[in-house]
Amino acid sequence: MNQKILAGNWKMNHDFEESVRLTQAICDLTTKKEKTNIILFPPSIFIPQVFAAAIGLNPNISIGCQNVHFETNGAYTGEVSTSMIQTFCKYVIVGHSERRQYFKEKSSILLKKLKSVLSAKMTPILCIGESLKQRESGETFEVLNNQIKETLFELNNIEAKKCIVAYEPIWAIGTGLSATASQVEEVHNFLHNLITEKIGESIPLLYGGSCKPENCKELLSINYVDGALVGGASLKADSFVKMIEIAENI
């Protein structure tokens, strides 16, 4: 896949003004001719404003939502549904490890979310990844296999082909400690083979976990790494745009 995807997950960071300023700065600093598919995931409350700030400025920038509820409406206090965001968003992150860890989201819930996102004609970015303990005890591939089987492979093939998968080793998220190129290569090869064998074609595979300007050339050059899901380094325009520039030249 030639066109890389660079997705910036701002998590619960940036207030209203910072969100709009960051969006404008990213738009100003990109040339609008990028081939990279740039996706911004602001806090959900600022999605409309970020959408408004980016629209018309750079056609390669789209907006995503960090999480959604699986129902389209109802008595779910504090939640946001696909029907509320689909005007602005093309992508939704499903199953980020922080959702799995802090909000106890299990595969059964994630599968409902995947279906809900797909029915709303948006693209889910399904996050999977092993903990440090699981890696150290040699369970990485079993864990990833189970995470994929219980979610992506429960969809029909037409639905599964519309998804993106992000491999995010939990021990590399927000720690500054990225997976090594050989660890990423091994996992992405494994995922590519697993997915193509089951659904008949490859889908985009992102890497996430302390990806930054210093290491993104190496990580994005690995076979079957179609892009990156970026946390910390997406919070500042200069570092995120540097990564976009690097992605352009791979």
Pair 71, 78: CB distance under 8 Å: no
Q: What are phi and psi of 20, to 5 degrees?
A: -70, -40
Taking the alpha carbons at both ends of the chain, their separation in whole angstroms is 11
Region binding ligand PEP by CB under 6 A among candidate stretches 53-61, 78-86, 209-217, 236-244:
209-217
Residue 44 zone, left/alpha/beta (φ > 0; ψ -120 to 50; rest): alpha
230 touches ligand PEP by CB under 6 A: yes
210 touches ligand PEP by CB under 6 A: yes
Region binding ligand PEP by CB under 6 A among candidate stretches 15-23, 34-42, 129-137, 228-236:
228-236
173 touches ligand PEP by CB under 6 A: yes
Q: Which of 117, 209, 222, 247 binds ligand PEP (CB under 6 A)?
A: 209
Q: Which residues, 6 or more positions from 88, have their beta carbon under 8 angstroms from its beta carbon?
A: 47, 48, 51, 63
227 touches ligand PEP by CB under 6 A: no
216 touches ligand PEP by CB under 6 A: no
Q: Which of 34, 130, 168, 226 binds ligand PEP (CB under 6 A)?
A: 168
232 touches ligand PEP by CB under 6 A: yes
47 touches ligand PEP by CB under 6 A: no
Task: Name the residue with the smallest CB distance to ligand PEP.
Answer: 231
Question: Per residue in 201-220, is it b (16+ CB within 10 Å) or e — as a string?
Answer: eebbbbbbbbbbbebbeebb
Pair 250, 36: CB distance under 8 Å: no
Nearer of residues 45 and 177 to ligand PEP, judged by Cβ = 177
Q: Could you give the residue numbers annotated as active site?
A: 96, 168
CA–CA dist 216, 203 (Å, integer)? 20
Nearer of residues 118 and 173 to ligand PEP, judged by Cβ = 173
